[in-house]
Structure 1
Amino acid sequence: MSGTGLAVLAAALVLTGAAAWWLRARDGAVRAPARQEEDGVRGPAAVLGDLGVRPGEADLTVVQFSTAFCGPCRTTRARLQHLQATRPGLAYVHVDAESHLDAVRELDVRRTPTLFYLDRGGAVLGRSSGAPRPEELTTLVDAHTGPRA
């Protein structure tokens, strides 16, 4: 193989490694929402309200979009149900993404599970795509709901 070929191969390997690291770093990480209400564009809180989400009933409401054949969705659902049972200030809402495609489009849900975190006033605190990191999820829940029951 020529020197140019080796350089191209090395560059491709470095770029692939960097892309894999970047994707892994973002997977399940809670990020600030991309947008709230804007002129003529409904924000996430309005779309979630159309789905029956009522965040005023809990300190923190977690809305999970998932699909039937998503393995990480089942794990995330079980983890959130466990947290809900031990943290009275937490509400958990499950949304079947396949049955609510308009909301999926409006909220730009590109993969499952996707979670939205809402405070008592209905403001979206953040969102995550992919299985949430257990420690980060527990820390976020505890920060908004207080210690476990």
Structure 2
Amino acid sequence: MDGDGADPAAVFARLGVRPAAADLTVVQFSTAFCGPCRATRARLAGLQATRPGLAVVQVDAESHLAEVRELGVQQTPTLFFLDRAGRVVARTSGAPRPAELTALVDARAGVRV
């Protein structure tokens, strides 16, 4: 999973990610000129508006090259799905299809009624 044996929880902590605060935290690694990154960011914002247990953290891959290497991020967007304990429960590389992204989120974060 990771690039060189790095502890993912320690890497996410350095990035300011606090997974204990939500049922599911999605960390998205993006770059400024990535169209699929913008589309995925917008989808996540829409999901976050209706899922109270969802937190989203955006990371500029170009500004965090050490973390990119440590986590083995090869393309953008790359999304890491963390549970409350900070464990990576899923990971996607490239833009996930909207239905796939919704299913991954709904499996762990509640929908507001």
* Structure 1, gaps ≥5 residues long: 1-33
TM-score (norm 2): 0.93
Q: 2:92 matched to 1:125?
A: no
Identity of aligned residues (%): 71
Q: 2:9 matched to 1:45?
A: yes
**Separation in structure 1 between the aligned mates of residue 5 and residue 76 of structure 2, nearest angstrom:** 23
Deviations 1:8-61 (A, max 9, x none): xxxxxxxxxxxxxxxxxxxxxxxxxx25xxxx9322221111100000000000
Larger Rg over CA atoms: 1
How much has 1:103 moved relative to structure 2? Answer: 0.3
Aligned residue identity for 1:139: A
TM-score (norm 1): 0.71
Superposed, which structure 2 residues align to 1:47-126 within 5 Å?
Answer: 47-126=11-90
* Structure 2, gaps ≥5 residues long: none
**Separation in structure 2 between the aligned mates of residue 145 and residue 48 of structure 1, nearest angstrom:** 20
Task: State whether residues 118 and 125 of structure 1, in contact with CA within 8 Å, keep that contact through their aligned partners in structure 2.
Answer: yes
Give the 3-state SS of the residue equivalent to 1:145 in structure 2: coil
Aligned residue identity for 2:30: S
**Separation in structure 1 between the aligned mates of residue 79 and residue 28 of structure 2, nearest angstrom:** 4
**Separation in structure 1 between the aligned mates of residue 12 and residue 59 of structure 2, nearest angstrom:** 10
Bigger helix share: 1
Task: State whether residues 142 and 148 of structure 1, in contact with CA within 8 Å, keep that contact through their aligned partners in structure 2.
Answer: no
Where do 4+ consecutive residues of structure 1 move more than 4 Å?
none
The number of aligned residues is: 112
Task: Answer 1 or 2: higher relative contact order, Cα 8 Å, separation at least 6.
Answer: 2
Bigger strand share: 2
Task: State whether residues 113 and 131 of structure 1, in contact with CA within 8 Å, keep that contact through their aligned partners in structure 2.
Answer: yes
How much has 1:71 moved relative to structure 2? Answer: 0.3
